[in-house]
Structure 1
Amino acid sequence: MMLTAATTDLFAFDAPALKELAATQPGPFFAYDLGAARERYRRLRALLPARVRLAYAVKSNPGLPLVETFAGEGAWFDCASAGEVSAVLAAGGTGTSMVFAGPAKSERDLQAALFAGARVQVDGIEDVARLHALHTGERPLPVSVRVNPAQGVSEAASIIGGGGPSAFGVDEEALEDFVRQAARHDRVQITGLQVFAASNELDAGRLLANHRTTLGIGRRLQELLGRELDLLDLGGGLGVRYEVDRPSLDVRALGAGLGRVLEENPWFTGELLLEPGRWLSAPTGVYCAHVVRTKVSRGERFVMLEGGINHLLRPLLTGQSFPTLALRPGVGVLGRETALTTLAGPLCTSLDRVGTGDLPVDLQPGDLVVFGQAGAYASTQAMTHFLSHPAPEQVWVDAG
């Protein structure tokens, strides 16, 4: 693949910047463009209705410079561990602009969320009972409930969302019973709803259909509670493309559609929350690893890199490769004659595959393979300690 106008959202840096970065890094590294992160946040913010809050999903990339960048833009944050809560507070975020989620919250997690003042999203009556025991304030603790929709969910991937059996949330058909049980814990008050029904969705129409489903569940929940909801959390799912021939998510259409969804639901007067993670962070980062050797085995072309699933695990988990290009130090981006190539790492396991790509046939040791869209679910999702190879460097760039 060559760097062209059609691939500018796949790779965070242009060819000269990549050459400059490669010259300073002897080993594998991640590089991130904080200016690009800032621009993407502002673009999305400008296209959404004013009532919609943006909560950056810290799980996608908890790097402190990135979290600081979004905190400086006034973002909310979606956290799923005590560690993520600490990262947000260290970056200048506040608990009052934080939601806390997770299907199996530990005592430490709940205490961290309460200490910070975050809005906890409960996944069952057990969470309610534990918060009832932990909360010592004079007023009831406002929480949101995550609901697993019974139907009406449209999705292209089901890594975290979906409408089938789930470890997440309260099944919609059990919602009435949940509300009745929760009412017995008077130190906790259900005042919000979260539904997360998609992952990496590129179709704005699918996302909007799911948001309408969420509003429908919210209206029923409000009727069951007998009080107004103050927060509806629509979850994340805003996708990025990993292939050149796929269309990007039309965020303008998403923003306009959300405006119409709000007009269709005048009963809801509170705030809406979106939890984009990947959409904000993925295009800001690249992963770069040098070629160690190449080979052909029984007709399949392999390129072995100095980093593998200890640095990039996502292709093994999802079967979807990151976009790739090749760079030769002192020469630039390569790509005239290419062939389908399997990318393997240095680990002593046949599982160590980091995707496939059309890469130059003349790749040689010392060339650099650059993986795009690596600002999300990359470095911190990997098997970093496996086989005790060194961790990749993390390079943060901010051109202002």
Structure 2
Amino acid sequence: MTPAHAELRQFPVLDDCLQLGGITLPRLAERVGGTPFYAYEREHIQSRVALLRSTLPPALHLHYAIKANPMPALVQMMGLLVDGFDVASGGELKTALDAGMPPSRISFAGPGKSNAELRGAIAAGALLHLESEQEMERAARIGELLGLTPRVAVRVNPEFELKYAGMKMAGGAQQFGVDAERVPAMLRKMAALGLDFHGFHLFCGAQNLSARAIGESQRLCVQLALRLAGYAPSPLRVLNIGGGFGVPYFPGERALDLAAVGEGLHELMRKLAAESPQTRLVLELGRYLVAEAGVYVCRVLERKLSHGQVFVITDGGMHHHLAASGNFGQVIRKNYPVAIGNRMQAGPREVATVVGPLCTPLDKLADSMELARVEPGDFVVVFQSGAYGMTASPTAFLSHPLPLEVLV
């Protein structure tokens, strides 16, 4: 990787070839059956969870947000490492159940849940994170029809936001959650509907590298939840404060100071234990657990020169990895860390633009980036690709085959 991305994780290299899970890239491509493909390292995910366990309070419950990467084999492995799963669709709920996670440790969030999804979650016994008063009423009616008491929590939209978040999901007008000032009335109605209230869910934002901002948001979330608990029909048993832990993608970004976040959470746990000892605090993480464990790999088809600019044309692109193309919420396009996986150290270098096979100028995996000089057959590797990769991309565009996925 280039010096501009020095903050990023360094993978081992053997004979100028990147290694993933102890396997060199050409050998891995052979085993997978060709390119393009995603590869995720088991050991890195296990190490990341172990680091969190050693840094954060022991009583804190760690959940994996399946939306970050729902690959079944990865989710199944994650089920052995974390305390629960958070899902955001009926499909993700099925993945979570198929992985063997007990329904009591699965929570279901997201606006616009269909009646079928509500039925599935209630029948399974998952914890519903209610996003509106209407959703609460629908859940109550479905529970009555099924003869079951839905387990519910209220997702709260607080007045504050998570500063410096790459994607803000709270504060002001939002499609997520119930505005904080409306929650007391909702809780009063909940008692009449006979729902099994468990707690609150507050998710303020994603992709944040500021320990100070995360700590402040977590403190405000706990403070608000304790205040709202006074209106609840039963004691506050669960408080999910979301996650938002970011990873560095672009030049100049520095890794999150996890130790500082841990210190703040230790203090919060002490406060919670004193004021609401029956409450289980849940941290919901996705990207932070898997992003750095994954790479996207495609193969060079051509090296093309146009008006003095070098284009590296590959068999992969934005249809497989929308985020790397800069079209997944970025305001200004920046390059993900990219390298030529079989030319990691030696040989001449040049400035090139890496593009895919799609009929759109948006199909760029790297724009005017210094790379090793490529030849057809070389491997282009996009790092930090373990989260929001294939399933966050327009894979049906132009009807190319889906990329393969492998857990190594």
TM-score under structure 2 length normalisation: 0.88
Q: CA deviation at 1:10?
A: 5.9
- The 5-angstrom pairing of residues 83-94 of structure 1 reads 83-94=91-102
Tell me, yes or no, if structure 1 residue 368 matches structure 2 residue 379. yes
Partner residue of 1:171? 179
Q: 1:290 to 1:13 in 2, by over 3 A?
A: same
Q: Identify the match of residue 213 of structure 2 among 206, 219, 224.
A: 206
Partner residue of 2:355? 344
Partner residue of 1:185? 193
Partner residue of 2:35? 27
Partner residue of 1:129? 137
The C-alpha deviation readout for 1:189-209, integer Å capped at 9, x for no partner, is 433111111211111111111
- Give SS of 2:270's match: helix
Q: Identify the match of residue 66 of structure 1 among 64, 74, 82.
A: 74
In 1, Cα distance between the equivalents of 2:100 and 2:320?
28
Deviates more, 1:7-16 or 1:41-50: 7-16
Unaligned ranges ≥5, structure 2 = none
Partner residue of 1:194? 201
In 2, Cα distance between the equivalents of 1:388 and 1:303?
21
Q: Identify the match of residue 104 of structure 2 among 96, 104, 115.
A: 96
- The 5-angstrom pairing of residues 193-342 of structure 1 reads 193-225=200-232, 227-243=234-250, 245-265=252-272, 266-269=274-277, 270-297=279-306, 301-314=310-323, 315-319=326-330, 320-328=334-342, 333=345, 337-339=349-351, 341-342=352-353
In 2, Cα distance between the equivalents of 1:192 and 1:293?
56
In 1, Cα distance between the equivalents of 2:405 and 2:149?
43
Q: 1:5 to 1:127 in 2, by over 3 A?
A: closer
Deviates more, 1:218-227 or 1:7-16: 7-16
- Give SS of 2:205's match: coil
Q: CA deviation at 1:66?
A: 0.9
- Give SS of 1:317's match: coil
- Give SS of 2:229's match: helix
The C-alpha deviation readout for 1:155-196, integer Å capped at 9, x for no partner, is 3322x523132111011232233233333312x143311111
Q: 1:22 to 1:140 in 2, by over 3 A?
A: closer
- Give SS of 1:232's match: strand
The C-alpha deviation readout for 1:244-292, integer Å capped at 9, x for no partner, is 5321112222122101122344312211111110011111111111122
In 1, Cα distance between the equivalents of 2:100 and 2:198?
26
In 1, Cα distance between the equivalents of 2:118 and 2:239?
21
Partner residue of 1:377? 388
Q: CA deviation at 1:301?
A: 4.3
Partner residue of 2:400? 389
Which 4+ stretches in 1 moved above 4 angstroms? 2-8, 10-14, 136-140, 296-301, 331-336
What letter matches 1:376 in structure 2?
A
In 1, Cα distance between the equivalents of 2:284 and 2:171?
18
Unaligned ranges ≥5, structure 1 = none
Q: 1:332 to 1:151 in 2, by over 3 A?
A: closer
Q: Identify the match of residue 358 of structure 1 among 354, 357, 369.
A: 369
Partner residue of 1:77? 85
Contact 1:322–1:355 (CA<8 Å) still a contact in 2?
yes
In 2, Cα distance between the equivalents of 1:19 and 1:174?
57
Contact 2:339–2:372 (CA<8 Å) still a contact in 1?
no
Contact 1:149–1:171 (CA<8 Å) still a contact in 2?
yes
Tell me, yes or no, if structure 1 residue 38 matches structure 2 residue 46. yes
Contact 2:130–2:136 (CA<8 Å) still a contact in 1?
yes
In 1, Cα distance between the equivalents of 2:239 and 2:376?
52
Contact 1:335–1:359 (CA<8 Å) still a contact in 2?
no
What letter matches 1:114 in structure 2?
I
- The 5-angstrom pairing of residues 113-128 of structure 1 reads 113-128=121-136
Alignment RMSD, CA only?
2.6
